[in-house]
Chain A
Amino acid sequence: MKLRFPPPFLSSRGVRLTGDLVFQAVLAGVAVLSVIGLAVLLLRELVYGSLPAISEFGLGFLTSTEWNPVRGEFGALPFIYGTVVSSLLALAIGVPLSLGIAVYLAEMASPRVRAVLSPVIELLAAIPSVIIGLWGIFVLAPFVREHLAEPLMSYLGFLPLFEGPAYGYSVLTASLVLAIMIIPIISSISREAILAVPRLQLEGALALGATRFEAITGVVLPYARGAIFGAVMLGLGRAIGETMAVTMVIGNSPQLFTSLLHPGYTMAAVIANEFTEATGELYLAALIEIGLVLFAISMVVNVLARAITWRYMRVQGGA
């Protein structure tokens, strides 16, 4: 039964006290001002700050590939491209692994192993991104340069994607770092979604003679797909907005790379790197406009993710 507050009999008898109304109004006021007000103010400041760049470059800002602040050329495409490619590659690496982890922890591991490993994997999410970046500079980037790039070039070097020469600070390294950062998010939400699938569904499939693989891919995962899709979108949102870890390993070179072994640049990284040294109103406005674009993209992804999860939660009756 759904309980309503206040109980209907109170309001129907006309028991409405001024103190209560004031209290509710004050709370509502704070809630509206701090949450909705913050969202509106955030958008306003971003738009206001980027106005000089918007009026100077118009839509061409988004499609121009030249980024040369000294000559006053500001094009955002290399950064948008870098963000999109590195995030999608991170998903390509991270999603299969996350689903593997989720299935292992939910369906294969004993409850005891699950109870130990689940928090350990989620520990990754608690490590600050600047420290993951530090590890990326001194451990992962040398590893990619010395052990990963070589076999990729010799076996897949005929593809433009893996063309040499190989750099340690590259799009590949950044995507690996991003994958590491989104795995705890995607795997933990997916694990909970898989655990929430009614056991009868799985048992029914097994009773019909399905192998565990067939039961999981044919019955369990489709049942949980709403939440899993939401989790993937959340991971994508995280990857798009991630700043420090990417800035520290992607090489920070504004170009439309084709090889993943070459350096790139992302929207968040260029803001982090150049904001304090941005001289001149136009330079700063261009960086803020990149921030506005980043904000817009990540808000679209996040609204989609939340809309999916909220709908899923309502259909499944909360969780």
Chain B
Amino acid sequence: MPELEWRRLKDRLFTAFCICSTALALIPLGSMLYTIFMKGFSVISLSFLTELPAPPGEPGGGFGNAIQGSLIVVGIASAIGIPLGIAAGMYLGEYPNSRLSRAISFTADVLTGVPSIITGIFAYMLVVLRFGGFSALAGGVALATMMLPFIVRTTEEAMKLVPWELREASLALGATRWRTTLQVVLSTARFGIATGILLTIARIAGETAPLLFTAFNNRFWFDGVMQPVATLPVMIYTYAISPFDDWHAQAWGGALVLVTMILLLNMGVRLATGRRWR
């Protein structure tokens, strides 16, 4: 029966298409990881991790200040974004049925889609223009803006996973609501919240666009929160688009450091919690 054969053929072609799509998606990933490892590995050394960048034309030097700066800027972002995000997320998780909560939750969800470069402009207007210059603080504010909606949402989800019966049991024992929230719900949800925080940090640690004109760049070590600071992603970008071959090689070294840090954080969290990748 030709018609049946045609239908079977279409079925086979479809199966082949689906398998090929999956294989095709794995090629760029494999190529990326392979190139980063092959080109980055030969660059990595103790001096690359601990030294200041060499002036153009001179060999050697490292990304030590960029690694330091990234940790500082992400630290500033966390100090701003995490407490605010947890408090807002607690409100959404504990008082979920009001119109206000739904509006806030939806806004946070939409804010997760703000293009990263926009948070850079925002921090530029808010911090750089007002406090006279590029600074680590401005970079931290830009990253905190990216972080906040993710922290809000993961905290909200983690709080909502706590069974309502647990809250009722606490209230039945005579605890007030705020003690119930802080001592019963929050302590039950803390593992989920911590997971969300670490995954958010892994997500923003590699952001470049928000830092280009906030934290800017610096050839020297960190010199206070109101001074420009080098960060790993910006350094990789600067070196990648430079005309020098040895700078390109160092960009791959920086990429290997950054990817290793992010993937270790990511995989460590997911392995520890058995949580799905998302």
* Residues on A facing B (Cβ under 8 Å): 3-7, 10, 17, 19-20, 22-24, 26-28, 30-32, 34-36, 38-39, 41-42, 45-46, 48-49, 96-101, 103-105, 108, 117-124, 126-135, 137-140, 180, 183, 187-188, 211-214, 216-217, 234, 237-238, 240-244, 248, 268, 271-272, 275-276, 288, 291, 294-295, 298-299, 301-303, 305-306, 310
Q: List 7 A-B contacts (CB under 8 A).
A: A5-B94, A6-B167, A6-B177, A31-B101, A128-B259, A129-B208, A131-B32
B262 engages A126 (CB within 8 Å) = yes
Chain B residue, CB-CB nearest to A238:
B113
B157-213 residues with Cβ-Cβ distance < 8 A to A are 164-165, 167-168, 171, 176-178, 181, 202-203, 205-209, 212-213
Whether A27 touches B236, Cβ cut-off 8 Å, given contacts A118-B277, A121-B29, is no
B32 with A45: CB separation less than 8 A: no
Contact B32 A276 (CB under 8 A): no
Contacts of A120 in B (CB 8 A): 26, 29
Q: Which chain B residues border A99 with CB–CB below 8 Å?
A: 21
Q: Which residues of B does A touch, CB under 8 Å?
A: 7-8, 10-11, 13-15, 17-22, 24-26, 28-29, 31-32, 35-36, 84-85, 87-88, 90-92, 94-95, 97, 100-101, 103-104, 106-111, 113-122, 124-126, 145, 148-149, 152, 164-165, 167-168, 171, 176-178, 181, 202-203, 205-209, 212-213, 216, 233, 236-237, 240-241, 248, 251-252, 255, 258-259, 262-263, 266, 270, 276-278
Q: Return the contact of A248 from the options B22, B171, B241 (Cβ within 8 A).
A: B241
A31-B277 contact given A180-B28, A241-B116, CB 8 Å threshold? no
Residues of B within 8 A of A243 (CB): 115-117, 208-209
Instruction: Identify which of A3, A30, A310 contacts B91 (C-beta below 8 A).
Output: A30
The reply to whether A34 and B148 contact each other, CB–CB distance below 8 Å, is yes
Contacts of A130 in B (CB 8 A): 206, 208, 233, 236-237, 240
Residue of B nearest to A271 (CB): B117
Contacts of A301 on B, CB cut-off 8 Å? 113
A272 touches B35 (CB 8 A): no
Residue of A nearest to B252 (CB): A134
Contacting residue for B251 out of A38, A123, A134, CB 8 A: A134
9 additional A-B pairs beyond A131-B36, A288-B121, beta carbons within 8 Å, are: A23-B178, A24-B95, A27-B88, A31-B101, A104-B21, A108-B18, A123-B29, A135-B31, A213-B7
Given contacts A128-B258, A134-B251, A134-B252, contact A46 B168 (CB under 8 A): no
Cα distance, A78 to B103, chains bound together (Å): 36
What A residues does B11 contact at CB under 8 A?
211-214
B126 partner residues in chain A, CB cutoff 8 A:
41, 45
A-B interface pairs (CB < 8 A), number: 283
Contact status A126-B266, CB under 8 Å: yes
Q: Are A101 and B25 in contact (CB under 8 A)?
A: yes
| Complex CA distance for A10 and B176, rounded to whole angstroms | 11
Q: What residues on A are CB-neighbors of B181 within 8 Å? A: 23
In the complex, A124→B248 CA distance in Å? Answer: 22
Which B residues are in CB contact (< 8 Å) with A100? 17-18, 20-22
A26 to B84, CA, bound (A): 11
Task: Report whether A127 and B259 are in contact in the complex, using a CB–CB cutoff of 8 Å.
Answer: yes
- Contacts A23-B177, A126-B266, A276-B216 given: A39-B111 contact, CB under 8 Å? yes
Contact B207 A20 (CB under 8 A): no
B7, B17, B117, B165: the one contacting A211 at CB < 8 Å is B7
Instruction: Check A35–B178 contact: CB distance below 8 A.
Output: no
Q: If the complex has contacts A35-B111, A101-B25, A128-B207, are A42 and B145 also in contact, measured as CB distance less than 8 A?
A: yes
Whether B84 lies near A34 (C-beta < 8 A) is yes
Q: Which residues of B contact A41 (CB under 8 A)?
A: 122, 126
Selected from B32, B111, B113, B171, the residue in CB contact (under 8 A) with A135 is B32
Closest to B208 in A: A130
Minimum Cβ distance to chain A for residue B112 (Å)? 8
Chain A: which residue is nearest B116 at the CB level?
Answer: A243
A35 adjacent to B31 (CB under 8 Å)? no
The residue that B18 contacts in the complex, of A32, A101, A123, A276, with Cβ under 8 A, is A101
Chain B residue contacts of A123, Cβ below 8 A: 29, 263, 277
Residues on A with beta carbons closer than 8 Å to the beta carbon of B118: 42, 46, 241, 291, 294-295, 298
Do the beta carbons of B115 and A244 come within 8 Å of each other? Answer: no
- A268-B115 in contact (CB<8A): yes
Q: Are B110 and A303 in contact (CB under 8 A)?
A: yes
Complex Cα distance A126/B121, Å? 24
Task: Check A38 against B145 for contact (C-beta < 8 Å).
Answer: yes
Q: Flag if A122 contacts B22 (CB, 8 Å).
A: no
Chain B residues closer than 8 Å to A10, beta-carbon distance? 171
Q: Which residues of A sit under 8 angstroms from B95, Cβ to Cβ?
A: 5, 24, 27-28
7 nearest interchain CB pairs? Answer: A128-B206, A241-B115, A100-B21, A302-B113, A23-B178, A27-B91, A104-B18
Residue of B nearest to A211 (CB): B11
Give the Cβ gap from B141 to chain A, nearest Cβ, in Å.
Answer: 11
- Decide if A31 touches B116 in the complex (CB within 8 Å): no
